Structure 1
Amino acid sequence: MSNFLRRIFSGIIYVLIFISAILFSKESYVVLISLFGFIGIWEFSKMIKFKNIIPYLFFGLTLFLMLKRPDNYGVTVILIITILSSVYLIYQLYSKKEIIFLNDRSKLGLTIRYFIFSMCFLVLLPFYKGIYNPYLVISILVLIWVNDSFAFLVGKNFGKRKLFESVSPKKTIEGFIGGLVFAIIASFIISKYNNDFSILNWCIIAIIVCVIGTIGDLVESKFKRQAKVKDSGTIMPGHGGVLDRLDSLLFAAPFVYLYINFII
């Protein structure tokens, strides 16, 4: 089987598992994302050369407490920490400074702020106003996938100017704009079938997903370049690891959570 066919096949399996878990029940969604979280911790730990059981235990405990009391003020504090940490990573990306983690303490802090907290908000995303809403997270996934697909297609056929060549030489400005435009179009269509938010709010969510998600992809690429690896893992043939597939959604999740729970 060629690499192209393996990529298509594994991608279809990934989407089917993801959608099935979301629609089946809130428990199956939490279990699947938790599994992705533990695998992602393992992949990220390999990249930063961090061998410790604490991140796995911390993720399990934090996720349990956040699911138990999603309206607790502690969740808001964690959200603020996550957003500020993401903003600092964006600064490090655009200032072209190396992300420093010299000892186990700094590696643990980075793993918690960059991956674990963001993963927890990905789990909380469909629990809107205390009710599990599977179509909310499916709509956000559709925006991510539309953005990724059309950014690739437009970039491949029309891309000339590099978006951030030092980190991801294949991404182009034309591709980014193409992905954003088609995601906004998709948000208009979604608003016709999903009445959780207005057309304007779905449009803003699409912009957040595209802009922050693209930056999240670049941040993960920066980590991989520093680690001198092509992919975070090999669990998905042709796609890399779990972190490679979730990088955009992972980075965007806290910002979307902030918007739909505190701004709308």
Structure 2
Amino acid sequence: MRELTVRALSGFLYVIILLFSIFYSEKWYILLFLLFGIITLREFLRLIGFQFWYTYLILIGFVLFFSYFKISKPATLVLLAFTVCTGLYLMKNLFSEKIRKYNKLQKLHITIFYIIASFVFLTLLPTHGDEFSPYTVAGLFVLIWTNDTFAYIVGKSFGRHKLFPSISPKKTIEGFFGGLVFACIASFFIYKFTDKYTPTHSLNFNIWLSLAVVMSTLGTFGDLIESKLKREAGVKDSGTLMPGHGGLYDRLDSILFASPFIYLVLILFEYVS
């Protein structure tokens, strides 16, 4: 009972801090996720056994260049291409049961184009339309929380078929589709809310529905990728920052991995429209 209370309180504090920064201002949002990025990067480097302190400077430089000053849109698209390709590479590795031993150059590549670049696109999501729209990123967090919650409930109640037993024995196919369906339902209510209260910055329902599918699917892959890294490192959690939840990387793995793909989807919809 005490463990459940501690878990609930730490989760509630995390949500409050997150939503406050999102709705307060763009600068606060970027600053918070820069701090989150430093903490997550530290957990990730320990997880893969790669202590290279210059990566912190790279993170700060990338966030300032791409997210805060937004100096070059072509450079952002190049970074997006490298990040998406790195994500696809990590997804491919999930289907290999052998334990991978990355060399230093590979670890540096994954650190930059998986962790650091993903934080860049996570901070860019509210300004994909050139104006800061906090409801966009808040809606995305609601989608991932809805997916995680109902994937757990449906999987616990009806799960019979394992999704990736070699990596995450508790995840089931039924749970995955349960989370996906409820995330799609949540996308409708998010669309209705944002269309009513922020009509000038709202996304249409087709976009929100697409984001729900991308977030649920690739968020699950993000969780599996972290699970495989933890299995290879022989640890249960990435850290101990959040009592009852593990590390910050444990909390952000889904949306972190999905963020560049979501940014790509938003660009494609903007181009088509």
TM-score w.r.t. length of structure 1? 0.96
**Distance in 2 of aligned mates of 1:191 and 1:244:** 28
Superposition pairs of residues 18-97 of structure 1, within 5 angstroms: 18-67=18-67, 68-69=69-70, 72-97=73-98
**Distance in 1 of aligned mates of 2:48 and 2:147:** 29
**Distance in 2 of aligned mates of 1:31 and 1:129:** 20
**Distance in 2 of aligned mates of 1:96 and 1:74:** 35
Deviation at residue 70 of structure 1 after TM alignment: 5.8
Matched with 2:17 is 17
Matched with 1:246 is 252
Alignment coverage as a number of residue pairs: 263
Structure 1 stretch displaced more, 224-233 or 46-55: 46-55
**Distance in 2 of aligned mates of 1:143 and 1:35:** 23
CA contact (8 A) 1:92 1:98 kept: no
- Structure 1 position 221 matched with structure 2 position 227: yes
Deviation at residue 160 of structure 1 after TM alignment: 1.0
Offset from partner CA, 1:76-126 (integer Å, 9 cap, x none): 0000000001001101112334343123x3221221111111111101111
**Distance in 1 of aligned mates of 2:135 and 2:71:** 19
Matched with 1:102 is 103
Superposition pairs of residues 79-228 of structure 1, within 5 angstroms: 79-103=80-104, 105-195=105-195, 196-228=202-234
**Distance in 1 of aligned mates of 2:57 and 2:228:** 26
The residue type paired with residue 74 of structure 2 is Y
TM-score w.r.t. length of structure 2? 0.93
Q: 1:257 aligns with which of 224, 247, 263?
A: 263
The residue type paired with residue 224 of structure 1 is K
**Distance in 2 of aligned mates of 1:146 and 1:106:** 34
Moved over 6 A (4+): none
3-state DSSP of counterpart to 1:194: helix
Offset from partner CA, 1:19-75 (integer Å, 9 cap, x none): 011111111111110000000110001011111211100011111110212652010
Identity %: 45
CA contact (8 A) 1:167 1:225 kept: yes
* Structure 1, unaligned runs of 5 or more: none
3-state DSSP of counterpart to 2:206: helix
**Distance in 1 of aligned mates of 2:222 and 2:71:** 24
The residue type paired with residue 11 of structure 1 is G
The residue type paired with residue 214 of structure 1 is T
CA contact (8 A) 2:238 2:247 kept: yes
Deviation at residue 128 of structure 1 after TM alignment: 2.4
Offset from partner CA, 1:177-219 (integer Å, 9 cap, x none): 1100000000011111223222122111100000000000000
**Distance in 1 of aligned mates of 2:238 and 2:177:** 26
- Seen in structure 2, the aligned counterparts of structure 1 residues 223 and 192 have a Cα distance that, compared at 3 Å, is same
**Distance in 2 of aligned mates of 1:70 and 1:5:** 45
**Distance in 2 of aligned mates of 1:254 and 1:98:** 26
**Distance in 2 of aligned mates of 1:202 and 1:96:** 35
**Distance in 2 of aligned mates of 1:27 and 1:43:** 24
CA contact (8 A) 1:146 1:183 kept: yes
Matched with 2:199 is none
**Distance in 2 of aligned mates of 1:94 and 1:204:** 25
**Aligned residues: CA RMSD:** 1.2
